[in-house]
Amino acid sequence: MSATMTSSTASSSGSPKRAPVADQDWRKIGKWGGLCTLALVLVSLIGMPVGLDRRILIHPILSLGYLSLLWIPLMLGFVVSKQVKLEGVESPDPGGRDLLAGALTGLMGGVGMAVFMLALNTFNLRDPLVNWSPKLLELLNYGRGLGFGVVAWLLACCVLGLLGSAIHVVPADVRRVVSFSAFGLLGIAVLEGAIADLSEGFGLEFLTDSIYAKRGGVTVVWSIVLAVVIGVVSVLTKGRLKAAKANYSGLQGPERKRASRIIFVVTALLTIILPLFLGTIMNELLANVGLFLLLALGLNIVVGLAGILDLGYVAFFAVGGYTTAVLTSPDSPFFAPEMHFAVTLVIVVVFAGIVGLVIGAPVIRMRGDYLAIVTLGFGEIIRLLFMSDWLKPYFGGAQGITNVPGVDLGFITIKGTDPRSVFYLVLVFCALAIYISWRLQASRLGRAWMAIREDEKVAEAMGINTVNTKLLAFVVGAVLASFSGAILVAKVGSVFPNSFMILVSIIILVVVIVGGMGNIAGVLVGSFVLIGILGGPRQPGLLHEFQSFKLLIYGALLVFMMLQRPEGLVPSSRRSQELHQEEFLQDVWLKSEEHEAEEREAEVHAVEVGGAEGNNGGGA
Amino acid sequence: MSHLMEIRDLKITFGGLDALSGLNFHVDEGEIVSVIGPNGAGKTTFFNAITGLVDPTEGNILFDGESILGLDPHQVTGLGIARTFQNVRLFPNMTVLENIMVAQHCRTSQLVFGALLQTAAFKKEEQEIEERAKEVLAFFGSRLVGYRYDQPAFVLSYANRRRLEIARAMATQPRLMLLDEPVAGMNPMETAELTALIGRLRSEWGFTIVMIEHDMRVVRDVSDRVVVLDHGVPIAQGSYDEVSTNPDVVEAYLGRPAEDGT
């Protein structure tokens, strides 16, 4: 029954059309097959399979190391058999032809791997290629000899390519269930640390103990059970979420307000209560996510709202950190007033504002790429200043300032050894930052920022003092970043110039872009996904095995997002409109036709009634 | 009586090219003046100079008796001069209503703290901004109201974009409005409608209007006075009838008759 759903266009026109199996686009297969080979060999050579082998996802068959290879033929099989649907052109039904294409693409990858393994066995290129090792070979052939490995890879890649292409062929319902099960299971495996920690907090260890094997990873039996459960749940909940969402956005006035308030209260309660049940590692992770979320929210105001591409954002992070360290630490080399954190914060705000103005004033008159480069420079300059010998008597040079006390609240001292308290501190500031972003967005200032982002020259001609308005965005962003810096230093207990590398700026920017520029929810999701799962520049995430490949993954993810979903994971409606103008125009066009029809009716009606008053020259 | 705007010996040079040379011009309160001239005559440069986008090389621009030379564009707008652009330049991804609301920036004052603390003054101002925006949009009949409020500007038809641009200029609450080819690209019906609107801009809203226009019917129908520019020099001034029969003007537009040529 569901098969007819996917092929409704074809089946409505009578007999479904299938292209003959041999009618292949060989160039396309060659291209993607070659890419498959390249990707497999490259991933093997950068050491991902070996490095990630210790992290087991499904005990004992699948480790993250194998997964880092296996997704490639699956994905490329999917890509190669994807049909571009053109309007007005009836594309043939997906079928045997596509399956063959996928399988062949996978097979090419498999052949590549086989050749690679033979080469691994015969030559020794360990000198330039560090990962060209017997260990890799052993891993690739499952420790059962070369012959087994070659055959296994040929078969596995072929099958995976076939599976990838089968995604297009199977009915939509099946596709949905399978993808839910697969991604759900993957999620449970990846989030093992978080789930185990959480269940421990709730006293449910017995459950996670049985789900996860001792060495890590979901056990085979449980993975089957979980996959089935998730599959069933996905069938049961089909369409519910969408309906709920539509229902929510359909609400109006006070009802909408009430619904939003309930959602807000529930989320707030969850964020406040959940950490109580989490262990040290998870709280540490959450605190890191919070620190970067605070930074990302600030950058979101600068880049997302005002459209100033600031690549030196880390400078303000550093200013916040150093100001706090100097003012609170007894070991501050030159000036050590040992103030309380709360007093320091006020000074931090003032300082960050001043630095924002000083850096911003010359920079803000530039536009686009020039501004980005100059801010990049300023970001480095600030770090180098803190590191320099010249300022060493004041800031301690490369040794930094240590012995920064925690935040003494009287009944409790917030410091790094108690990450939960740090998390709550960060939470307060994140809430503040979210409030600031939210209120400013919908104010006179927010509109002015938007106008500047759209067309600076016209904004100026429409009476907006662009220099001051942009500076204000710069300063607000700087203040939020400095809060994050202050908390970081109080948490870690020390400050070093190398904590403020240019990389931090870039990672925050990636968080904002991948999450969804200009949208608070997007930035939230971005920080959780990127910092929480992959980890920050120095802070490990849930997949801490990725540490050495983090930059590669960040880069790959950014490229992928730019190609496939440039508006980000959770985009603001404005931004998705901007990037999908054509689709949006079509929708509007259809809607306005309805409107016009209604209007015409109303006009006719008005004429019939005999409305003598001219309707504002509308029909002149 | 002093003029609302007076321009004395305005000269603008780009490199070696005189975009404007020795332009004398004035507008009185409540006038509608058209500036016409062939392409490249310096009409838009003239507007750019008034609004502070281009700095004049020589001369002076007086608005309400005071020089506005060297002011930034936003300060000029603050004094009460608003403009539209020849190639429509809206904020395409902002909604229709937001386009108008943002134009009231220089007439309002709330900054960060009002927004954060949601003060009574802030709320009142926001409400006023919205009301005024709706009032301005209502001037264009049913074309920019209702469901249009929340549509991004890029979905509007060409004629509606032109209207929205005029609305945006109105929202800055100017005394003098500079319209750069307001009816360019419109069909005859839309042109006629907009011509009537320009008249009403003066009669109902009290704006003084300087308009660059190529459509001679519009120029004839609304202007009190016409100024003809050619190669940066004013070659004629007066009522439409005077100007349209002036031999210099005819020559500038149509060229010298063949027998006179050298």
In three state form, how does the secondary structure of B4-37 look? CEEEEEEEEEECCEEEEEEEEEEECCCCEEEEEC
**Strand, helix or coil for residue A414:** strand
Give whichever of A174-178, A609-613, B163-167 has the largest mean pLDDT: B163-167
Which tokens sit at A369?
Answer: 């790429």
- B235 exposed, middle or buried (CB, 10 Å; 0-12, 13-18, 19+)? middle
Give B178's strand partners.
Answer: B83, B210
Which tokens sit at B40?
Answer: 């490249």
Which residues 6+ apart lie within 8 Å of A214 measured at CB? Answer: none
Residue type, A105: T
**Cα–Cα distance between B175 and A564 in angstroms, integer?**
49
Asked if residues B210 and B176 have their Cβ atoms less than 8 Å apart, the reply is: yes
pLDDT at A92 over 80: no
Q: Which residue has the higher pLDDT, A17 or B174?
A: B174
Q: Report yes or no: A350 at the B interface, CB cutoff 8 Å.
A: no
- Inter-chain touch A577–B152, beta carbons under 8 Å: yes
- CATH says B5-80+174-260 is which class? alpha beta
Q: Which residues of A touch B147 (CB under 8 A)?
A: 591, 595
Q: What's the pLDDT score for residue A54? A: 84
Would you give the end-to-end CA distance of chain A in angstroms? 56
HEC string of A501-523?
CHHHHHHHHHHHHHHCCCCHHHH
Which tokens sit at A92?
Answer: 């043939």
- Inter-chain touch B196–A620, beta carbons under 8 Å: yes
Q: What does the pLDDT average to over A83-91?
A: 71
Which tokens sit at A409?
Answer: 């609240």
- As a whole number, the mean pLDDT across chain A is 86
Confidence class for position A476, pLDDT limits 50, 70, 90: very high
Which tokens sit at A301?
Answer: 């105001």
Q: How far is CA B174 from CA A403, B165, B208, B223, in A?
A: 60, 14, 9, 19
Write out pLDDT tens, residues A369-413.
Answer: 899 999 999 999 999 999 999 999 889 888 899 989 888 888 888
In order along chain B (262 residues), what is the average pLDDT of each group of 10 residues? 85 87 90 90 90 90 90 93 92 93 92 90 94 93 87 90 94 94 90 92 93 90 91 88 87 71 46
How is chain B split into domains, by residue range? 5-80+174-260, 90-157
Phi, psi (degrees; rounded to nearest 5) at A63: -110, 165
Question: How many Cβ atoms from other residues are within 10 Å of residue A551's Cβ?
Answer: 15
Q: What's the pLDDT score for residue A310? A: 92
- Inter-chain touch B103–A462, beta carbons under 8 Å: yes
Q: Which residues of B touch A618 (CB under 8 A)?
A: 141-143
**Cα–Cα distance between B236 and B36 in angstroms, integer?**
10
User: ipTM of the assembly?
Assistant: 0.92
Which residues 6+ apart lie within 8 Å of B238 measured at CB? Answer: B225, B226, B246
**Cα–Cα distance between A312 and A315 in angstroms, integer?**
6
pLDDT at A325 over 70: yes
pTM: 0.86
Write out pLDDT tens, residues A220-232.
Answer: 888 999 999 998 9
Q: Report yes or no: A175 at the B interface, CB cutoff 8 Å.
A: no
The residue in chain B having the minimum alpha-carbon distance to the alpha carbon of residue A618 is: B141
**Strand, helix or coil for residue A373:** helix
**Cα–Cα distance between A291 and A314 in angstroms, integer?**
13
Phi, psi (degrees; rounded to nearest 5) at B237: -145, 150
Q: What's the pLDDT score for residue A559? A: 92
Share of chain A above pLDDT 70, in %: 92
**Cα–Cα distance between A519 and A437 in angstroms, integer?**
9
Q: Does residue A60 have a cis peptide bond before it, meaning omega lies within 30 degrees of 0?
A: yes
Phi, psi (degrees; rounded to nearest 5) at B216: -70, -25
- Inter-chain touch B74–A436, beta carbons under 8 Å: no
Asked if residues B79 and B63 have their Cβ atoms less than 8 Å apart, the reply is: yes
To test the contact with chain B by mutation, choose from A305, A349, A444 the residue with the greatest count of B C-beta atoms within 10 A, namely A444
Q: Which residues of B touch A444 (CB under 8 A)?
A: 105, 108, 110-111, 115, 125-126, 129
Pairing relationship of beta strands B66-67 and B58-63 according to DSSP bridges:
antiparallel
For the CA atoms of B46, B50, B51, B53, the dihedral, rounded to the nearest 10 degrees, stands at: 60
pLDDT at A158 over 70: yes
Token pair 């020794």 is found at A124
Q: What's the pLDDT score for residue B79? A: 93
Q: At what angle do helices A502-515 and A368-387 cross, to 10 degrees?
A: 140
Q: Which of B114, B154, B189 sits opposite A581 (nearest CB)?
A: B154
Q: What's the pLDDT score for residue A16? A: 53
Confidence class for position A274, pLDDT limits 50, 70, 90: confident
Q: Which residues of A touch B82 (CB under 8 A)?
A: 462
Write out pLDDT tens, residues A499-510.
Answer: 999 999 999 999
Which tokens sit at B43?
Answer: 């009409």
Give whichever of A10-19, A73-82, B123-132 has the largest mean pLDDT: B123-132
Q: What's the pLDDT score for residue A11? A: 41
- Inter-chain touch B93–A574, beta carbons under 8 Å: yes
For the CA atoms of A303, A308, A311, A313, the dihedral, rounded to the nearest 10 degrees, stands at: -70
Confidence class for position A8, pLDDT limits 50, 70, 90: very low
Q: Which residues of A touch B151 (CB under 8 A)?
A: 588
Residue type, B262: T
Asked if residues A512 and A300 have their Cβ atoms less than 8 Å apart, the reply is: yes
Q: Which of A440, A451, A591 sits opposite B112 (nearest CB)?
A: A440
- A467 exposed, middle or buried (CB, 10 Å; 0-12, 13-18, 19+)? middle
The answer for B118, left when phi > 0, alpha when psi is -120 to 50, beta otherwise, is left
Confidence class for position A13, pLDDT limits 50, 70, 90: very low
Which tokens sit at B83?
Answer: 């403009």
**Cα–Cα distance between A102 and A217 in angstroms, integer?**
30
Taking only Cα atoms into account, the Rg of chain A, rounded to an integer number of angstroms, comes to 29
**A 439-478 near B (Cβ less than 8 A):** 439-440, 442-448, 450-451, 454-455, 457-466, 472, 476
Q: How far is CA B42 from CA A516, B71, B230, in A?
A: 44, 21, 7
Q: How far is CA B58 from CA B18, B19, B43, B52, B244, in A?
A: 11, 12, 17, 14, 30
Q: How far is CA A524 from CA A479, A483, A527, A543, in A?
A: 19, 17, 5, 19
Q: Which residues of B touch A458 (CB under 8 A)?
A: 85, 89-91
For the CA atoms of A552, A557, A563, A567, the dihedral, rounded to the nearest 10 degrees, stands at: -140
The separation between CA B187 and the C-alpha centre of its own chain, rounded to angstroms, equals: 20
pLDDT at A15 over 60: no
Give B5's strand partners.
Answer: B27, B63
Give B20's strand partners.
Answer: B12
Q: What's the pLDDT score for residue A472? A: 93
Give A63's strand partners.
Answer: A56
Asked if residues B130 and B195 have their Cβ atoms less than 8 Å apart, the reply is: no
Q: Which residue has the higher pLDDT, A443 or B1?
A: A443
Taking only Cα atoms into account, the Rg of chain B, rounded to an integer number of angstroms, comes to 20
Phi, psi (degrees; rounded to nearest 5) at B197: -65, -40
Q: Which of A435, A447, A459 sits opposite B98 (nearest CB)?
A: A447
- Inter-chain touch A617–B110, beta carbons under 8 Å: no
Asked if residues B75 and B52 have their Cβ atoms less than 8 Å apart, the reply is: yes
Q: What does the pLDDT average to over A74-93?
A: 79
- Inter-chain touch B112–A458, beta carbons under 8 Å: no
Q: Which helix (H) or strand (E) holds A590?
A: helix A581-609
DSSP state of A495: B
Token pair 């003239």 is found at B46
Comparing CA positions, the residue from A118, A124, A163, A160 lying closest to residue A141 is: A118
The residue in chain A having the minimum alpha-carbon distance to the alpha carbon of residue B98 is: A447
Give B27's strand partners.
Answer: B5
Comparing CA positions, the residue from A308, A277, A318, A325 lying closest to residue A374 is: A308
Q: Which residue has the higher pLDDT, A572 or B195?
A: B195
Asked if residues A105 and A38 have their Cβ atoms less than 8 Å apart, the reply is: no
pLDDT at A591 over 90: no
Q: Which residue has the higher pLDDT, B257 or A352?
A: A352
Asked if residues A480 and A264 have their Cβ atoms less than 8 Å apart, the reply is: no
Asked if residues A106 and A190 have their Cβ atoms less than 8 Å apart, the reply is: no
DSSP code per residue over A135-146: HHHHHHTTTS-H
Q: Which residues of A touch B129 (CB under 8 A)?
A: 444
- A483 exposed, middle or buried (CB, 10 Å; 0-12, 13-18, 19+)? buried
